[in-house]
Amino acid sequence: MRARKVAALACRRDLIAPILLSVAAILLTSLLINEAHVHLTALHIWHDPEDLALAYILPTIFITILFGSNIGVSSALLSGLAAAYFVYPPQFSMAIDNPENLVELGFLLVLSVTASKSVAVLTDEKPLYRRPTRKLDRTAFVTDRRWRRFAPHL
């Protein structure tokens, strides 16, 4: 009975850090997008904040690389909520007035989930902290037939 409690506590502890890091990365992205929009609008360069919403794909990719595809997909959904709240008009509200913005948000979510799953396939569904570290082993280098012609002296 005690072992189950310890295992459940360890499982919860393994989920707290990825979720907190993904929330922090998305909030940092929201802050950067908001600052970029304010400065670009003040300089009369750019008035369309919806184009900046694609920046929410980056934290999703980094979280997927670090913690795996399940946390990456949840990060993609959380970034969609953050984009709806911070980027799309009316700002600081979950309501989206324009149907075109709703379609853009749906596209952003599909693109984020696709990017998360693609990164997961490229990393063999293993989070970064669970991948084995490879050391440069001289014997492995020599025994590989492809390298013998380049380094016959080894």
138 or 128: whose pLDDT is higher? Answer: 128
The three-state secondary structure class of 87 is coil
Query: Chain-wide mean pLDDT for the chain?
Result: 81
pLDDT tens digit sequence for 106-119: 999 999 999 999 98
Q: Structural domain tally of the chain? A: 1
Q: With contact defined as beta carbons under 8 Å apart, do 26 and 78 qualify?
A: yes
129 or 77: whose pLDDT is higher? Answer: 77
pLDDT tens digit sequence for 42-100: 888 877 778 888 999 999 999 998 888 889 999 999 999 999 999 888 888 888 888 99
pTM for the model: 0.74
Domain assignment present for residue 10? The answer is no
Q: With contact defined as beta carbons under 8 Å apart, do 119 and 65 qualify?
A: yes
Domain assignment present for residue 100? The answer is yes
Domain assignment present for residue 149? The answer is no
Domain assignment present for residue 33? The answer is yes
Which tokens sit at 148? 């013998």
Domain assignment present for residue 148? The answer is no
The predicted structure's pLDDT at residue 74: 93
The C-alpha atoms of residue 5 and residue 15 are separated, in whole angstroms, by: 16
* Closest-CA residue to 120 (of 57, 72, 59): 72
Domain that holds residue 21: 17-130
Domain assignment present for residue 3? The answer is no
Domain assignment present for residue 31? The answer is yes
Domain assignment present for residue 142? The answer is no
Written as one string, the DSSP assignment of 15-47 is: HHHHHHHHHHHHHHHHHHHHHHHHHHHHTTS--
